[in-house]
């Protein structure tokens, strides 16, 4: 589910309820996530104070006052929602429940269990070793960065942008959307891109992501932010899941094609 804009929305919505609070209780109801939760996981959280809420690519990071970082990845179906009412009973797929001082709890719910939760030293963590730059960081994710890859790969531009080692935080929805804005088909080989194409991809990524963050992410079927609200960007999608519907710019029917095992959508007239 959550790509960069959704994780950023979860971060900003949870931050006021969580930062400055201490963790008094951790209830692991299901430890079999993408990687099994370690037996020490509760002990590495209990007694710590959350000092900041940050995001890196699609990871949500809570800094703890002992220098460690509480890391969450949401996979396809993960949610982290704050409940001030502690009397509600845990529901299905509520895998981890973290109690905060003064009442209130954070509930990690993930039906498909592709998510991940761990407490690690961020600097030493393998999770971020190969992660590419933040797409909103103008000094790192540049047209140059993309242009330099052109000679090294036969992959399509969509494959490359989905690769978290190239740029961190883009997923299937927003790569489809930014390629529409850039006027480039998802099937285009990176090596067939001009320098100008690379510029347009980079600037389109920024404007699509910024717009999606402004609208609190996309709730296609089930995305909720940290306090249970839906996003609004799903109503602004130009191509994602719109096959057969008219292009908002030219009226041509949006096409669908599989690229790198993932459904891809484009306007055959606006994107070349």
56: which strand partners? 59
CB of 193: closest distance to DNA in angstroms?
16
Contact window for DNA (CB under 7 A) among 14-22, 154-162, 181-189, 193-201? 154-162
Binding residue for DNA, selected from 57, 106, 157, 237, defined by CB under 7 A:
57
Catalytic site residue 105? no
CB of 26: closest distance to DNA in angstroms?
22
Catalytic site residue 262? yes
Spell out, one character per residue from 253 to 272, where the chain touches DNA: x when CB under 7 A holds, - when not. -------xxxx---------
CB of 161: closest distance to DNA in angstroms?
11
Token pair 């306007």 in the structure block, residue:
267
- Residue 211's contacts (CB-CB under 8 Å, 6 or more residues apart) are 233, 236
Binding residue for DNA, selected from 83, 113, 145, 189, defined by CB under 7 A:
113
Contacts 24+ apart (CB under 8 A), 32-35: 32/113, 33/95, 33/110, 33/113, 33/114, 33/115, 33/116, 33/117, 34/73, 34/75, 34/113, 34/114, 34/115, 34/116, 35/116, 35/118
Binding residue for DNA, selected from 18, 26, 72, 75, defined by CB under 7 A:
75
**CA 115, 222, 159, 208 torsion: positive or negative?**
negative
**Residues in binding contact with DNA, number by CB under 7 A:** 37
Per the residue annotation, which of 48, 56, 58, 150 is the catalytic one? 58
- Residue 266's contacts (CB-CB under 8 Å, 6 or more residues apart) are 176, 179, 180, 185, 186, 239, 254, 255, 257
What is the C-alpha to C-alpha distance for residues 150 and 12, in angstroms, rounded to an integer? 36
Q: Does 215 bind DNA (CB under 7 A)?
A: no
CB of 151: closest distance to DNA in angstroms?
12
Query: Half-sphere exposure of residue 106, counting CA atoms within 13 Å on the CB side?
Result: 30
Catalytic site residue 58? yes
Question: Which is closer to DNA, CB of 113 or CB of 206?
Answer: 113
Q: Which residues of the shown chain bind DNA in the complex (CB under 7 A)?
A: 1-3, 6, 32, 34, 57-58, 73, 75-77, 92-93, 111-114, 127, 153-155, 159, 164, 171-173, 218-223, 260-263
């Amino acid at each position: 589910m959550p790509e960069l804009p959704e994780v950023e929305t979860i971060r900003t919505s949870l931050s006021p309820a969580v930062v400055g609070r201490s963790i008094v209780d951790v209830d692991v109801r299901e430890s079999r996530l993408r990687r099994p939760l370690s037996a020490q996981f509760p002990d590495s959280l209990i007694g710590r104070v959350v000092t900041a809420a940050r995001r890196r690519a699609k990871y949500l990071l809570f800094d703890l006052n002992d220098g460690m970082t509480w890391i969450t990845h949401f996979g396809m179906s993960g949610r982290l929602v704050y409940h001030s009412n502690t009397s509600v009973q845990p529901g299905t797929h509520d895998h981890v429940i973290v109690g905060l001082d003064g009442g209130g709890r954070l509930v990690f719910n993930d039906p498909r269990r592709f998510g991940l939760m761990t407490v690690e030293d961020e600097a030493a963590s393998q999770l971020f070793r190969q992660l590419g730059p933040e797409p909103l960081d103008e000094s790192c994710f540049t047209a140059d960065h993309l242009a330099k890859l052109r000679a090294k790969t036969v992959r399509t531009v969509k494959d490359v942008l989905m690769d978290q080692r190239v740029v961190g935080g883009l997923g299937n929805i927003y790569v489809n959307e930014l390629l529409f804005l850039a006027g480039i088909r998802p099937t285009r080989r990176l090596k067939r891109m001009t320098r100008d194409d690379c510029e347009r991809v980079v600037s389109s990524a920024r404007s699509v992501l910024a717009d999606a963050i402004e609208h609190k992410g996309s709730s296609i079927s089930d995305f909720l932010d940290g306090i249970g609200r839906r996003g609004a960007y799903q109503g602004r999608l130009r191509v994602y899941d719109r096959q057969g519907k008219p292009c908002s710019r030219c009226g041509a029917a949006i096409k669908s094609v599989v690229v790198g095992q993932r459904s891809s959508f484009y306007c055959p007239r606006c994107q070349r």
